[in-house]
Amino acid sequence: MSFGIRILKIKKNVFTISILLVFVISICQCTSYSNAQENEPFLIISPKFQMIEFFEDFGIKENLSSINIGIPSHNWTLTEIDINFTSIQRGSETFLVEDGGDSFKTLNYDKQCRAVQINITEPTKILSVEIYGYVENPQDENMLVHINGYDSGTNAPNSTIYGSPVPLNMSIIPNWYKQTFFSPISLSIGYYFLVLNGTDIGDDVVPKYRWYNNDINPIYPDLYIWVWDGSWLGGSTNQCFRYKIHQRFDRVLNPQDINMTAEINGTSYNITNGIESGSGTLSIKNLDFSLSENEINIFVKNNLSIKLLFHFNYRVSLKQFFTSHSTALIRKSLDNKWTINPDFTREYSNYSIKFYYPKNWYNITILKNGDEITSTVIINTDDNFIFFPNHIITDGANWKIFAFSPKIDFTLNIQKTEFKPSQDIKFSVITPYIQGNLTYILIDPLGFEEFRETKQIISQETLFTYNLPANPYEGIYKAYVFWYNGTDAGTETQEFSIILPITIPLEIILNSIFLMIIILGGSISSYVLVKRKRKNKIERQKKKFNIYRDVLSLQHFILSERNSGLTIYEQFFTGKPLNSSLISGFLQAVRVFGIELTETDEQTRSIKLEYQNSKILMSDYKSCRLILIMEKSPTQDFLESVNALSYDIEEQFGYLLENFDGDITQFNEIRDLLDFHLHTSLISPLRVRTQPGRNTSKEQMIINQALYLMKKKNTGHFLLSSLYKKKKEIQLEDIETILNLIQKKVFQPITSSNDLN
């Protein structure tokens, strides 16, 4: 009888609930509800930064009359030059002794030598001589040209020969013939003789060699000429042979005495006297001379009529600008992150780089081939530049520069925030500078991008407009506005409410009546639904308990980057600390071996291993790999929580994983995700912090047990495994009470090993 009454009560309650349910369904069908995703939009830009490369070149050059210094290319700019000159002297010049006269003297078997006097007025080097004449009957004779000494007693040549004689150069046509000595002949001030020596021409009576002379009006009438026929005879003046001397004076010159200058890019610079005689210096700073050729050409001038000859050593400094590509990550919740990938190409041994960075950059980090070398470069925070010295620049190295900058605030001018279908969402942006770009991204209530637009800033205020469709989602739309130029960036957000009009179509009313009939006809079956609901509740509680119980057996959690296998986050809970890199590499090898052995699909995502008392699970996802080491095999409920954890990791850290740069500190927040999905705070050491407030009797009982355990073991913390020595003793109510105490911060997880001391 009581069972029947209970059935009637259930039917009555079900009927009442059904009527309310129909009404609520009718209203709800007019409204769209959606759960927005929390994936915050970000923007990546690709600015270009200019850097300056410098190099210095050194060298020594000799016996030159101009300065020519080769460089790698013509794109460089000359900034400094230092030159030290030595052995400055006049270059070679030709001294015409005699050029007139049509008569000539012959050299034959009885007049085998001819000589003409040379008058040296200052120390000189004779490079060559020229004589005017011809040979009438060329034969293979040994005719020589040389310079002899002077006999002051007879005014004739003596037997001293200076330098080495050279064979006579002469042909059958009357002309000037140059006689070049093997090496310059140094002569001091005094008299000498130029001799044509034919003592080996034989006894042919036919004249063979003729040397023209001026016997009418010679330029130098006091110079002697002589003939040899076994001895020097017939010395006479007023009939000089025609000859020229190519000479270079040995006397050194001081730059300021001859107004010696260097011309660079049309500008003349004075060369000052050096410490020693015949030396000088040229030092020019703060040059800005862009080179048009692969050579630095400097013209040396003086007030003499001839070119100079000198030695010099030099040092030149050059610079060149080049552009480095970079990226900037702009997000609302974090400061802007800048990444530069410069390419340094050494062209000289003494090579360096300077980069002037924006003033608001901070936390600058330099990587070379993946290793941080920030301390080896020079970062000047006063003048805001980074200097890469010569000794750290190596060819083929991979360089990265990381820096952060604070977000720059700007203003969104919003007139209204509530809109209806087909209306325009309109607002304007007032930027801090009239330069750069603005990107506007509109996110719908489901968390997906609805609209994107980028505009170049041409005035202080920029207008954005978006026309809503006739049937938009109802809810909160979020507008993200990114402002950026080459060195600064910022983000502002604004929420807009989209409201749909409430209407109840006729078909909904008819559907509601139809539903009422169905619900009334099926009231008995509702009892079954109530039982099913109760069963579902028990299943949910069982699922939660399975997850709680499984996490108590978790020993080690490892998260690695999928491609490289590099560990980016790990958390150790119980047992002996393990080498995460070794474990990850071993499991990767096992996975590859399994694919090769079984010829299964390479996309196999999970591996499960059992070793002694540990169960090892490895699962691959899009960008990451999760490895768990547990005391026992987990339930399916626990594995589903692990999958949910992986989805959140991909969503929040997917970009960082795909563009992983070696910085694992970016993933520290995974600790919070791990605790959210798996409740790992239950297996962390817990510290008790009693605080004012009311606790339930159950909570107070567990607090007292924890305090007793800590006092007994004389520690500042306790483990849940110590509170419940047998895990089967723990109940779902106990775990939820402990989690509630953790949430109230009465029990506080210890996350650092240093805090255990």
Q: Are residues 448 and 519 in the same domain?
A: no
Res 526: pLDDT? 57
3-state secondary structure of 715: coil
The band of 469, judged by pLDDT with boundaries at 50, 70 and 90, is very high
Q: State which amino acid sits at residue 360.
A: N
| 555 lies in the same domain as 452 | no
Q: What is the mean pLDDT of the chain?
A: 84
The answer to the question of residue 749 being in a domain is yes
One domain, residues 430 and 390: no
- What would the pLDDT profile of 677-709 be if each residue is shown by its tens digit? 888 887 888 888 877 667 888 888 888 888 888
Q: Hey, what are 457's tokens?
A: 């800033």
Domain of 464: which CATH number?
A: 2.60.40.1930
Q: How far apart are the first and last CA of the chain?
A: 68
Position 323 in a domain: no
Is residue 637 predicted with pLDDT exceeding 60? yes
Same domain, 739 and 610: no
- For 384-428, the pLDDT digits (tens) are 999 999 999 998 899 999 999 999 999 999 999 999 999 999 999
Number of domains in the chain: 6
Within-domain flag for 53: no
What per-residue confidence (pLDDT) applies to 710? Answer: 85
CA-to-CA separations, 488 to 47, 483, 628, in angstroms, rounded:
10, 8, 42
CB atoms within 10 A of CB 232: 21
Strands (E), 198-291: 209-214, 225-228, 232-236, 240-241, 243-249, 261-264, 267-270, 272-273, 280-284, 289-290
227 in the same domain as 138: yes
Task: Please indicate, yes or no, if residue 521 is contained in any of the structural domains.
Answer: yes
Q: What is the mean pLDDT of residues 622-629?
A: 86
CA–CA separation, 738 and 703 (whole Å): 9
Shared domain for 237 and 147, answered yes or no, is yes
Whether residue 490 lies inside any domain: the answer is yes
Domain membership flag for residue 28: yes
User: Does residue 289 have a pLDDT over 70?
Assistant: yes
Tokens 């009313």 belong to 509
Whether the predicted pLDDT of 592 surpasses 60: yes
Do the domain assignments include residue 59? no
Among 405, 422, 439, the domain-final residue is: 405
pLDDT tens by residue, 210-255 = 999 999 999 999 999 999 988 999 899 999 999 999 998 888 899 9
Question: To which residue do tokens 């300021």 refer?
Answer: 256
Please check the confidence at residue 514 and state whether its pLDDT lies above 90: no
Largest CA distance in the chain: 173
% of the chain exceeding 70 in pLDDT: 86
- Structure token pair of residue 183: 């090496």
Query: What is the structure's pLDDT at 500?
Result: 87
Alpha-carbon gap, residue 401 to 340, rounded angstroms: 5
Supply the angle between the helices 2-28 and 523-551 in degrees, to the nearest 10: 80
Q: Which has more confidence, 24 or 364? A: 364
Q: Which of 126-140, 141-155, 198-212, 450-464 has the lowest mean pLDDT?
A: 198-212
Give the pLDDT band of residue 639 (cuts 50, 70, 90).
confident
The sign one gets for the Cα dihedral 676, 678, 684, 689 is positive
Q: Give residue 100's pLDDT.
A: 92
- Domain containing 600 — which CATH number? 3.30.450.30
Q: Give the range among 169-183, 200-214, 658-672 with minimum mean pLDDT.
A: 200-214
**β-pairing verdict for 399-405 and 93-98:** unpaired
DSSP-assigned states of every residue in 449-503: EEEEEEEE--SSEEEEEEEPPSSPPPEEEEEEEEEE-SS-EEEEEEEEEE-PPP-
At residue 604 the predicted structure's pLDDT band, cuts being 50, 70 and 90, is very low
The verdict on 435 and 475 lying in the same domain is yes
How far apart are the C-alpha atoms of 304 and 51, rounded to whole Å? Answer: 46
pLDDT tens figures, 172-192: 999 999 999 999 999 999 999
Q: Are 100 and 214 in contact (CB under 8 A)?
A: yes
- Residue-level pLDDT at 365: 95
From 486, 401, 472, select the one nearest 443 (Cα to Cα). Answer: 472
Which of 477, 475, 479, 466 lies closest to 422 in space, CA to CA?
Answer: 466
pLDDT of residue 218: 95
Which carries the bigger pLDDT value, residue 592 or residue 346?
Answer: 346
Pick from 609, 568, 544: nearest CA to 739? 544
The CATH number assigned to the domain holding 171 equals: 2.60.120
Q: Are residues 576 and 632 in the same domain?
A: yes
pLDDT of residue 82: 96
Lowest mean pLDDT among 36-40, 529-533, 671-675, 744-748: 36-40
Residue 752 has pLDDT above 80, yes or no: no
- Angle formed at CA 326 by CA 325 and CA 331, multiple of 5 degrees: 155
Q: Which of 243, 200, 201 is nearest to 225 (CA)?
A: 243
Q: Are residues 743 and 724 in the same domain?
A: yes
- The CATH number for 711's domain is 1.10.10
Whether residue 645 is predicted with pLDDT greater than 90 in this model: the reply is no
Q: What pLDDT, on a 0 to 100 scale, did the predictor assign at position 524?
A: 56
pLDDT score for 4? 47
Q: 241, 266, 301 — which closes off a domain?
A: 241
Distance of alpha carbon 58 from alpha carbon 82, whole angstroms: 10
pLDDT above 70 for 754: no
Q: What per-residue confidence (pLDDT) applies to 1? A: 43
Q: Are 347 and 41 in contact, with CB atoms under 8 Å apart?
A: no
Helix axes of 523-551 and 732-743: crossing angle, nearest 10 degrees: 70
Examine the pLDDT at 442 and tell me if it is beyond 60.
Answer: yes
Half-sphere exposure of 448 (CA within 13 A, CB side): 5
Residues 491 and 552 in one domain: no
Residue after which a domain boundary falls, among 498, 524, 559: 498
Q: Identify whether 665 is part of a domain.
A: no
Please give the helix or strand (H or E) that residue 625 lies within, else none.
strand 624-630
Examine the domain organization and report whether 145 and 214 are in the same domain. Answer: yes
The pLDDT of 115-142, averaged and rounded, is 91
pLDDT of residue 31: 36
Residue with the larger pLDDT of the pair 355 and 742:
355
Same structural domain, 106 and 235:
yes
Tokens representing 408? 């720059």
Q: If you average pLDDT over each of 127-131, 288-292, 349-353, which comes out highest?
A: 127-131
pLDDT confidence bin for 523, thresholds 50/70/90: low
Instruction: Domain of residue 555: give its range.
Output: 546-660
Averaged over 451-475, what is the pLDDT?
A: 92
pLDDT per position as a tens digit, 561-589 = 877 778 888 888 776 667 776 777 777 77
